[in-house]
Structure 1
Amino acid sequence: MGKITKVAKAVALSAIVASSSLLAADTVKIGVQAPITGKYANEGQGIDQFVRLIVNEKNAQGGLLGKKIEVVTCDDEAKAQKAAVCARKLVNAGVFAVIGSYTSGATEAAQTTYYRNKVLQTSDGTSDSLIKRKYWTFFRNSFPNSAQSDFTADYFVNQKKYERIVVLSDYSSYSTGLGDATENSIKKIGGNVIFRGKIKSGTQNFTAMLTKIKAMNPDVIYYSGYYTDGGLLRAQQKQLGINADFVGGDSNDNPDFLKLAGSAAEGTVLINFPTPDILPYKEAKKYLKAYEDTYNMKPPSIWAVVNADGLRAIMHGVEQTKSFDTKKISDFLHNLKDYPGITGPVTFRNDGERIGAKFMVYEIQKDGSYKVLGK
């Protein structure tokens, strides 16, 4: 049985190699680097699914410059070490562009490898540090922490008139960066941050930190980390009888926040880009319907959608330059203005930063729906 299995594997491998060599000239590869498993799996799977939806549409139209697009996915589990491994794997697989990753830490861990190998990368990571190296290969398909922090500060200080603000984050680059930026933005316009704290992601029991905060009598607790901890923080806040408002940053906007928070989710306020279902753009209606028809579900959050826009922008660059030369595509994208995206007009600055940020404020209702409070 062992010999037969080895022979069968050898024959299969030979067929794959032969097939690959025949198709190589007519195929181009796009990579997906995302957390397909792990605690952010639903986000990573949403990104992968949306990429495949866009690619299948393009292949049905004849491909990209006449070449069939092949998607190569690598699961980084949102971990920096695995992200670095994914970068090497995807480069070795021959991709010319990569969509991902979901977290800023995993995105940053892969950046240099893609840059050195002249592979384009677009990510929803919001850490401001992602742009600091000025890699010509990198494009942000979302908006930076600094844009969100200014919006949040204005909402807290000028609209809600909060006088005692607590800012919490975890220790990740994204969450720490957003927490620090929000604290600074609040102070810059005269707001009062009475406590800036950090929690260890994945701890699950935040009673000690919340008990400390309760004694401070805050008006609001702002959490800049991910939904996996945010939902538990909200639930435990309610259990401890802390009457402060709870506001979550963009990465708390996920269906699993509601599951983890339970009934305590009601009244939670989220600050994020407009949710997929209320995006007013023609492309949004088209692609969200296509996603639901294909997968029998809605995208898990806005992150799958902005990554789809990153892919669409890159494919647009290929078609406009009539080339797979990544430097030519990059030069084109650095001058891209108002490309009709699913999430709105896509414009990149010359450092790869997407500009024109729009944010909204949502309140979670008893039935789990969102009520728009402001924009």
Structure 2
Amino acid sequence: MLRQKAGAPTAPATTEPIKIGLVAPMTGEGASYGEAAFGGAMLAVKEINDAGGINGRKVELIVEDDRCSSAGANAINKLVNVDKVTAIVGPVCSSSAGPGVPIAQSAGTPVILIGASAPDLTKVGDYIFRNYPSDALQGKFAADFVYNTLGKRKTAVIFVKNDWGQGIRNVFIERYKQLGGEIVYDEGVLQDATDLRTQITKAKAANPEVLYFPVYPQNGVAGLKQIKQLGLTATVVGGDAFIEESILKLPEAEGVLIMEGKTNNPDDFQAKVKQVSNKSINIITPYAYDAVKIFAKVIEKVGTDQKAIRDELARTVYRYSIAVPVVEFDANGDLKVAEVAVKVIQGGKTVEYIR
């Protein structure tokens, strides 16, 4: 192989790495999700590069920490305007994606959201895609489950006041009322709130049969303890943010029901992830892996022109994904086919709910 001599011209652009950005919470309360996304994305990058890259070009993953917050705007702005990435994987959190994805849309940088599930995010524009089930599906499913499967007619709602919590709360309440259910209490809490006693006391006074509780892990850890302390006996139904070690290992979480996008996360895949990252692995890991692989497949076919990537994503049918059987996007950029599963927390892990 010819080696470049010192002082020789730099290599032509066609041999430079293809830059893909990852936006995820690497620090803060949501760091376990960022670590999980990083592991999945890094495994995909390693496999691509070990196989020779994309049309002979290596992939470089550039990671930006959004702290699951409005810092997503700065993170995406840097990736788009400073790093000049070809595409972006993430954000994981809707509270980051809300202010961030309009920047990518305006710049014409393709994005695959990997957990940010607020329904309106993909409506920002045609460069925004999502391989994770939207809250439009999850919230509706939760309402149907509470009303039809559990047979409960009186529900209290305590939600986290951000794009994700507000979005899934809106969908749930609209559908539940449509079915004939009664919302007996409805109030939000701040994203960093750990004292939920006022809201729980008010919810208890309304005598609900179910507490729909789409909050973040830090809210949930404190809230589930306080629910027990205050004697609220309603069935607790949480969102997919509860699939987190701090919740699952909590004694007060035993028996809590969780709605999540039906996701495959097989043991052999997790073993491969552990070879590139010793951090958290959770529901986000396979979605991050799949997003990188989907971008690689598309770029291999059409090159790095971002409009061409967007157009190809819109017609791609990807059958090699880990998280879901097939990734195919609808006109809005969401999955054409997605399913929601009901799990129950038992013994520090989630198992399939059986009535």
Q: Same fold (TM over 0.5)?
A: yes
Is the contact made by 1:291 and 1:298 (CA closer than 8 Å) also made in structure 2?
A: no
Counterpart among 250, 254, 265 of residue 253 in structure 2: 265
Give the Cα–Cα distance (whole angstroms) in 2 for the partners of residues 327 and 253 of structure 1: 36
1:252-295 per-residue CA deviation (whole Å, 9 max, x = no partner) reads: 21112135xx2101111111023544xxxxxx555333113443
Percent identity over paired residues: 26
Q: 1:253 to 1:23 in 2, by over 3 A?
A: farther
Task: Give the SS at the match of 1:180.
Answer: helix
Is the contact made by 1:169 and 1:223 (CA closer than 8 Å) also made in structure 2?
A: yes
Give the Cα–Cα distance (whole angstroms) in 2 for the partners of residues 289 and 274 of structure 1: 20
Is the contact made by 2:263 and 2:323 (CA closer than 8 Å) also made in structure 1?
A: no
User: Quick one: which amino acid aligns to residue 90 of structure 1?
Assistant: L
Residue 343 of structure 1: CA displacement?
1.3
Task: Give the SS at the match of 1:195.
Answer: strand
Pair 1:130 & 2:121 matched: yes
Is the contact made by 2:154 and 2:209 (CA closer than 8 Å) also made in structure 1?
A: yes
Is the contact made by 2:262 and 2:338 (CA closer than 8 Å) also made in structure 1?
A: no
Counterpart among 211, 222, 226 of residue 201 in structure 2: 211
Residue 296 of structure 1: CA displacement?
4.9
Is the contact made by 2:142 and 2:172 (CA closer than 8 Å) also made in structure 1?
A: yes
Equivalent residue, structure 1, for 2:284 = 303
1:317-373 per-residue CA deviation (whole Å, 9 max, x = no partner) reads: 11233x1111112111111235331112111012211121111111111x2122211
Equivalent residue, structure 1, for 2:108 = 118
Pair 1:274 & 2:265 matched: no
Equivalent residue, structure 2, for 1:317 = 298
Give the Cα–Cα distance (whole angstroms) in 2 for the partners of residues 200 and 112 of structure 1: 24
Equivalent residue, structure 1, for 2:307 = 327
Counterpart among 347, 350, 353 of residue 370 in structure 1: 350
User: Quick one: which amino acid aligns to residue 274 of structure 2?
Assistant: E
Q: Which has the higher helix share?
A: 1
Give the Cα–Cα distance (whole angstroms) in 1 for the partners of residues 51 and 318 of structure 2: 24
Give the Cα–Cα distance (whole angstroms) in 2 for the partners of residues 167 and 340 of structure 1: 38
- Runs of 4+ displaced beyond 6 Å: none
Following superposition of structure 1 onto structure 2, how do residues 145-224 of structure 1 map, counting pairs within 5 Å?
Answer: 145-224=135-214
1:80-131 per-residue CA deviation (whole Å, 9 max, x = no partner) reads: 1x21211221121121011111111211212122122221111121111102
Give the Cα–Cα distance (whole angstroms) in 1 for the partners of residues 307 and 261 of structure 2: 30
Equivalent residue, structure 1, for 2:93 = 103
Q: How many residues align?
A: 345
Give the Cα–Cα distance (whole angstroms) in 1 for the partners of residues 122 and 276 of structure 2: 34
Give the Cα–Cα distance (whole angstroms) in 2 for the partners of residues 357 and 351 of structure 1: 14
Measured on the aligned residues, the alpha-carbon RMSD in Å equals: 2.1
Unmatched 5+ stretches in structure 2: 1-6
Residue 190 of structure 1: CA displacement?
1.6
Give the Cα–Cα distance (whole angstroms) in 2 for the partners of residues 294 and 309 of structure 1: 16
Is the contact made by 1:276 and 1:288 (CA closer than 8 Å) also made in structure 2?
A: no
Pair 1:246 & 2:236 matched: yes
Pair 1:290 & 2:272 matched: yes
1:38-75 per-residue CA deviation (whole Å, 9 max, x = no partner) reads: 11011111111211110011000000111011111111
Equivalent residue, structure 1, for 2:3 = none
Please report the TM-score for the alignment, with normalisation by the length of structure 1.
0.87
- Greater RCO, 1 or 2 (C-alpha within 8 Å, sep 6+): 2
User: Quick one: which amino acid aligns to residue 315 of structure 1?
Assistant: A
Equivalent residue, structure 1, for 2:77 = 88
User: Quick one: which amino acid aligns to residue 273 of structure 1?
Assistant: G
User: Quick one: which amino acid aligns to residue 316 of structure 1?
Assistant: K
Task: Give the SS at the match of 1:77.
Answer: coil
